[in-house]
Amino acid sequence: MLSEDRIKKIKETREEWESSFKDKKERTEHFMTTSSVQIKNIYTPEDVPDLEYLKDLNFPSRFPFTRGVQPDMYRGRLWTMRQFAGFGTAEETNLRFKYLLAHGETGLSTAFDYPTIYGRDTDDPLAEGEFGKCGVAISSLEDMKILFDGIPMKDVSTSMTINGPAAIVWAFYIAAAERQGASRDMLAGTIQNDILKEYIAQKSWIFPPEQSMRVIVDTFEFGSKELPKWNTVSISGYHIREAGSTAVQELAFTLADGLTYVDAAVERGLEIDAFAPRLSFFFNAHNDLFEEIAKYRAARRIWAKEMKNRGAKKSRSLWLRFHTQTAGCSLTAQQPENNIVRTTIQALAAILGGTQSLHTNSMDEALALPSEKAVKVALRTQQILAHECGVTNTIDPLAGSYFVEYMTNYMEEETHRYFDKINALGGVIKAIEKGFFQQEIANSAYGYQKEIDKQERVIVGVNEFVEEDEIGIPLLEMDPEGERKQLERLIKLRESRDQTKYEHSLSALRKAAEGDQNLMPYILDAVKANATLGETCDVLREVFGEYDEPPIF
């Protein structure tokens, strides 16, 4: 602790310093973070008076991992450059994957269209008009094989942003890799598989919470035994932030979700050190450089302490490893080239915060799916940061900054306040049912928009520095024949499959779902028998039912 005399001296010096410019007016701009946290004009040792925080700093790879989980961080290996891609047919997205790999991407990240996200085939009546618009359509094992045609799945790390039907899409991936000759222990990657944040923010659920949790724990159990390199969940704050949360809410709600998954797996009887090393996280990188850096540093510290309290013994079980994507909600349709600058700042925050992998958004994503040129600029942004600006030369270079350490401590303290509120409501699922998270996010989003409308917050090109006659940029155009090709492939699949094998596999899955067996082996058998995504999901819908969000007043 700082001595009282030292604190008194700092206060006296601050007062003397402030008096030297008391007659000068500050700019009229509101000095606050993206999350509307008010920022002082200067931070000094009195803002971090408790030297206990130095113990929490420690060294990289040392508990509580504030400074990073690897001892050498980017001096040993750069983050994975994993650009999100997916649109139209599997053939179109396969070409985009190959384009990105040819230009220096080091990992794949797959976006799926809305029918796929909701466990529907392209020919489902509810899928009409939604084919391939926000991601690739994957309705069958055949689609997954085409998606990775010519891409060695045993050598590439793949992330898949899928939640409600995650177990089935993962089964497609495993089966397609096995058709390439890859064994399960070779496969590396991540399925998002985070259903709790769907109920909280993104809303693309299928089954009720209890049944969804069962399937997720099934994937934990199966993955820990069969796919030791695979992350079976990516606990996602990204969509919570995109829905309008503050940085603290993103951090607190995401970590609370993660701890709920851990507790559910332990309750199933899984050893915490058997599955915890394969848990991963997915965070947003928004505009405020220092707030975001502090968020990532606090996240590692909080997670390590919480996992240690739950009995985790392995060091890797305490690690919070995370992927970052720059903030889609910060992109503007007006003056889209400005988005390159926004994305660069956001990516820099993720790197200074110690991310393990990174996606940089393209300049045109407020208007359409990214064009090849736009996505190449986004990838080059990461490469320039990695190789030209010196940010990778030393580990956690902002450590010890009074402001950064104050913000890191602030994030940790505010997160625990939210934990207390969630626990008082009966835990995450009870809080979801009571609309707690949804209302907190809605309030934050409304407050942020009001600040923009009142011009208390400047958004360049939107409410300041506006141009009347803007020059457009070229946008991606999809193959209009894509949907027809996809529908023809589904018809052919259903006509050519072994009907007896197909029916038997779905019958076995139904029976397993009605009992308490791990569903992954049965889902794998079904997809290998050419059951489609929708057909497999329909069996589980029949057994589990579908979730209807209760009205929130």
pLDDT tens for 211-229 read 999 999 999 999 999 999 9
CA distance 34 to 32: 7
CA angle 291, 261, 118 (to 5 degrees): 90
Backbone angles phi, psi at 489, to 5 degrees: -65, -40
* Position 52 pLDDT exceeds 70: no
DSSP code at position 79: P
Burial tier of 417 (Cβ tally within 10 Å: 0-12, 13-18, 19+): exposed
Do 198 and 249 share a domain, yes or no? yes
CA distance 250 to 241: 6
Determine the pLDDT at residue 470. Answer: 75
Do 489 and 407 share a domain, yes or no? no
Do 149 and 244 share a domain, yes or no? yes
CA distance 500 to 507: 11
Give strand pairing partners of 280: 234
Q: Give whole-number Cα distances, 536 to 170, 413, 490, in Å.
A: 13, 44, 14
Do 343 and 395 share a domain, yes or no? yes
Tokens of 447: 């407050």
Q: Give whole-number Cα distances, 228 to 69, 220, 317, in Å.
A: 19, 10, 14
Alpha helices in 41-88 (DSSP H): 52-57
Do 487 and 447 share a domain, yes or no? no
Q: Which DSSP string corresponds to 182-233? A: --GGG--EEE----HHIIIII----S-HHHHHHHHHHHHHHHHHH-TTEE-E
Do 442 and 494 share a domain, yes or no? no
* Residue type at 237 in one-letter notation: G
Residue 9: inside a domain: no
Instruction: Tell me the whole-structure pTM to 2 decimals.
Output: 0.93
pLDDT in tens, 254-313: 999 999 999 999 999 999 999 999 999 999 999 999 999 999 999 999 999 999 999 999
Do 402 and 447 share a domain, yes or no? yes
* Position 550 pLDDT exceeds 90: no
Q: Give whole-number Cα distances, 361 to 78, 194, 247, 407, 475, in Å.
A: 19, 22, 19, 26, 15
Determine the pLDDT at residue 141. Answer: 98
Q: How many CB atoms lie within 10 A of CB 252?
A: 27
Determine the pLDDT at residue 11. Answer: 85
Q: How many CB atoms lie within 10 A of CB 305?
A: 17
Q: What is the mean pLDDT of the chain?
A: 94
Determine the pLDDT at residue 549. Answer: 86
Residue 490: inside a domain: yes
pLDDT band at 53 (very low <50, low <70, confident <90, very high): low
Determine the pLDDT at residue 46. Answer: 82
Q: Which DSSP string corresponds to 287-340? A: S-HHHHHHHHHHHHHHHHHHHHHTT--SHHHH---EEEEE-GGG--SSSTTHHH
Residue 45: inside a domain: no
Residue 52: inside a domain: no
Q: Which DSSP string corresponds to 239-278? A: HHHHTT--HHHHHHHHHHHHHHHHHHHHHHT--HHHHGGG
Determine the pLDDT at residue 23. Answer: 77
Give 467-511 as a 3 state SS string.
Answer: CCCCCCCCCCCCCCCHHHHHHHHHHHHHHHCCHHHHHHHHHHHHH
* Position 51 pLDDT exceeds 90: no
| Contact by Cβ (8 Å): 233, 193 | yes
Do 533 and 413 share a domain, yes or no? no
Burial tier of 474 (Cβ tally within 10 Å: 0-12, 13-18, 19+): exposed
Number of domains in the chain: 2
CA distance 145 to 9: 69
* Position 461 pLDDT exceeds 60: yes
Determine the pLDDT at residue 57. Answer: 86
CA distance 66 to 276: 18
Strand ranges of the sheet holding 158-160, from the earlier edge strand across to the other edge: 230-231, 189-191, 158-160, 107-110, 80-85, 357-359, 322-326, 279-285, 233-236
Q: What is the mean pLDDT of residues 461-488?
A: 89
DSSP 3-state percent helix, strand, coil across the chain (nearest 5): 50, 10, 40
Q: What is the mean pLDDT of residues 519-536?
A: 98
Q: What is the mean pLDDT of residues 383-403?
A: 95
| Contact by Cβ (8 Å): 81, 108 | no
Residue 458: inside a domain: no
pLDDT band at 494 (very low <50, low <70, confident <90, very high): very high
Residue 362: inside a domain: yes
Backbone angles phi, psi at 216, to 5 degrees: -65, -45
CA distance 311 to 326: 34
Residue 49: inside a domain: no
pLDDT in tens, 311-350: 999 999 999 999 999 999 999 999 999 999 999 999 999 9
Q: What is the mean pLDDT of residues 470-484?
A: 86
Range of the domain at 505: 482-544
Do 391 and 449 share a domain, yes or no? yes
pLDDT band at 1 (very low <50, low <70, confident <90, very high): low
| Contact by Cβ (8 Å): 107, 80 | yes
| Contact by Cβ (8 Å): 436, 422 | yes
Q: Give whole-number Cα distances, 151 to 107, 172, 227, 403, in Å.
A: 11, 15, 19, 45
Do 420 and 510 share a domain, yes or no? no
Residue 269: inside a domain: yes
- In CATH, what number is assigned to the domain containing residue 426? 3.20.20.240
Q: How many CB atoms lie within 10 A of CB 420?
A: 10
Cα dihedral value 329, 334, 339, 340, nearest 10: 160
pLDDT band at 422 (very low <50, low <70, confident <90, very high): very high
Do 375 and 493 share a domain, yes or no? no
Indicate the range of 11-15, 122-126, 159-163 predicted with least confidence. 11-15
Q: What percent of the chain has pLDDT over 70?
A: 98
Which of 192, 131, 222 lies closest to 322, judged by CA?
192
CA distance 179 to 198: 32
Do 418 and 486 share a domain, yes or no? no
